[in-house]
Structure 1
Amino acid sequence: MPAANLAVTPKEETSSAMSFNQVVRSVGFSVRSALGGLVTAAHTGTATAFPAESGYTTGAWTGAASMAVTVAIDLLLQRAGREACGDEVPACTMTCGGSRERQASGRIHGRAHARFPA
């Protein structure tokens, strides 16, 4: 993942992009851990030390559902980025992270882009 972030991030923004990536990952891990604990705790009876089998199944399906939502959001954002990169070079700078130098070369993330006027 860091290589994918750095491939589209201008050099002067590398530390900010990596820091933001790390914060988002940490929040995601924390939320998923809390959700898993909540689901298994809800399936633990008062007289038992371990959750019922249904608690583990529910936790797994909850994780699968949250992953599906995450993938759907990612695909929507990628689509919006591709649409923005089609005609508008300034929009591509905002959504793709392409610097003027990268756009001047005509390629960002393996895709040809319109060049800035000289």
Structure 2
Amino acid sequence: MNKFNAIAAMLACLWAGHAQAARSTQFDITLQPAGESARSFKVHLPPKGSVRHVIRDDLTLEVHAPAEEHGQGRSELRLLSQQKDGSFKVLHIAGIATFPNEVVQAGYGICAGKVTYRSEIAPGAAVCQ
């Protein structure tokens, strides 16, 4: 084995070890605002990561990954309504026990004027029946 192949093999082993060590949580979220069909999106977040997804001008979803890199942690979903003054009103908070590299499936809908939360929902499935 020449030096180039040896170095390439070492780098491949290091990369595989790094990729294995990197932890993330995948979220498959389904959203169904009032009068609209369900749509879903996926997001991968590292430990302590978060993202804010604007559903419409007045409706926002925050996704927070657990802080734990090893063992069980707590993910959090927050459905927010933006008020006329620019502040946000919390419509619902879901705390979900989560392990690293786990897939979290959940859905929110505004059904008959009320917030509906469903855990373990298949991506794209209707939240409002």
TM-score, normalised to structure 2's length? 0.27
Q: Which protein has the bigger helix share?
A: 1
Higher relative contact order (CA 8 A, sep 6+): 2
TM-score, normalised to structure 1's length? 0.28
Task: Give the structure with higher Rg (CA).
Answer: 1
